[in-house]
């Protein structure tokens, strides 16, 4: 009987192992991906971060060799209906909670790309936390059938900025 239950759980465990990149920390990243982008422009990295511990933490930054600068951003629609991106100093990651970094919300902004990010490419981003150890992640560039965003032409030099966008991403 015991063995039967164990066998029944096996496929589920395999799936979880596959979904989580293996990391020693209690914080795990799922679905880590970036948009295609051009050298000299900007890129965006998305993922879901899970905090499996009972200690709250904060994401406080990220680094990557592929860009001149890396910032935490949040996209929001302002009261004029314009999509704006705001730099975040920290994003809360509560105990047992998650941060969803997805188009239209939180993302990691790669500013001033040193190379093209083409579909299928991989590169490394290291996440920095208030309490937990640095978390290196492999990012895969995915097109996902979406057209290239006008992201590359935007200036991210300021703390926050407005720009009208035809689509609600990132």
Asked if 63 and 129 touch (Cβ cutoff 8 Å), the reply is no
Q: Which stretch binds Cu ion (CB under 5 A): 94-102, 103-111, 129-137, 139-147?
A: 103-111
112, 67 contact by CB (below 8 A): yes
Report the DSSP beta bridge partners of residue 139. Answer: 123
Q: To 5 degrees, how large is the angle CA 19–CA 27–CA 95?
A: 120
Of the residues 73, 113, 127, 129, which one makes contact with Cu ion according to CB under 5 A: 73
Q: Between vectors from CA 161 to CA 89 and to CA 83, what angle results, nearest 5°?
A: 100
Q: Which is nearer to Cu ion, 109 or 165 (CB)?
A: 109
Span of 18-26, 79-87, 98-106, 133-141 interacting with Cu ion by CB under 5 A: 79-87
Q: Sketch the per residue contact string, 141 through 160, with Cu ion: x for CB under 5 A, - otherwise.
A: --------------------
Q: Is 85 in the site for Cu ion (CB under 5 A)?
A: yes
Kindly state the smallest distance separating residue 159's Cβ from Cu ion, in Å. 12
Q: Nearest approach, Cβ of 24 to Cu ion (angstroms)?
A: 29
Size of the site for Cu ion (CB under 5 A): 3
Token code pair at residue 46: 């998305």
Count the neighbouring beta carbons within 10 Å of the beta carbon of residue 25: 16
Positions touching Cu ion (CB under 5 A) are 73, 85, 109
């Amino acid at each position: 009987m015991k063995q039967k239950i164990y066998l029944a759980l096996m496929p589920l465990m395999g799936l979880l192992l596959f979904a989580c990149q293996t990391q020693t920390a209690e914080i795990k990243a799922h679905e880590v991906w970036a948009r295609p982008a051009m050298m000299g422009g900007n890129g965006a990295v998305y993922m879901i971060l899970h905090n499996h511990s009972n200690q709250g933490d904060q994401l406080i930054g990220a680094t990557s060799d592929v860009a001149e600068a890396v910032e935490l951003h949040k996209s929001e629609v302002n009261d004029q209906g314009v999509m704006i991106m705001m730099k975040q100093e920290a994003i809360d990651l509560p105990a047992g909670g998650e941060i969803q970094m997805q188009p239209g919300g939180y993302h990691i902004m790669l500013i001033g790309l040193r190379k093209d990010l083409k579909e299928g490419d991989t590169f490394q981003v290291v996440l920095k936390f208030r309490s937990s150890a640095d978390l290196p992640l492999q990012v895969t560039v995915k097109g996902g059938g979406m057209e290239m965003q006008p992201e590359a032409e935007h200036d991210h030099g300021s703390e926050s900025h407005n720009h009208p966008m035809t689509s609600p991403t990132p």
